[in-house]
Amino acid sequence: MLDENDDIHPLFAGAPSTTEFKKLRKRIVRQAREAIEQYGMVERGARWLVCLSGGKDSYTLLAVLYELKWRGLLPVDLLACNLDQGQPGFPATVLPEFLKRMGVPHRIEYQDTYSVVVDKVPQGRTYCALCSRLRRGNLYRIAREEGCSAVVLGHHRDDILETFFMNLFHGGRLATMPPKLVNEEGDLFVYRPLAHVAEADCEKFATSMNYPIIPCDLCGSQDGLQRQQVKQILDGWEKNRPGRRQVMFRALMNARPSHLLDPKLFDFQGLQLTPGQNEENFGEVPRLR
Residues 194 and 62 sit within 8 Å (Cβ to Cβ): no
Q: Is residue 4 part of a domain?
A: no
Q: What domain range is 147 assigned to?
A: 10-223
With respect to residue 236, please indicate whether it lies within any of the assigned structural domains: no
Domain assignment present for residue 137? The answer is yes
Annotated binding site: 128, 131, 219
Q: In a 10 Å sphere around its CB, with 0-12 CB exposed, 13-18 middle and 19+ buried, how is residue 123 labelled?
A: exposed
pLDDT values of the chain reduced to their tens digit, one per residue, 289 residues: 444 444 567 888 889 999 999 999 999 999 999 999 999 999 888 999 999 999 999 999 999 999 999 999 999 999 999 999 888 888 999 999 999 999 999 999 998 888 888 877 777 677 777 888 888 999 999 999 999 999 999 999 999 999 999 999 999 999 999 999 999 999 999 999 999 999 999 999 999 999 999 987 655 545 447 888 999 999 999 999 999 999 999 999 999 999 999 999 999 999 999 876 555 555 555 666 5
Total domains in the fold of the chain: 1
Residue 94: inside a domain, yes or no?
A: yes
Q: Alpha-carbon torsion 231, 233, 234, 235, what sign?
A: positive
**Does 259 reside within a domain?**
no
Q: Name 160's Cβ contacts closer than 8 Å, sequence gap at least 6.
A: 176, 177, 192, 195, 249, 252
List residues forming the annotated binding site for [4Fe-4S] cluster: 128, 131, 219
Please give the backbone phi and psi of residue 30, each rounded to the nearest 5 degrees, phi first: -65, -45
**Are the CB atoms for 192 and 61 separated by under 8 Å?**
no
- Select from 158, 138, 154 the least CA-distant residue to 146: 138
> What's the CATH code of the domain at 159?
3.40.50.620
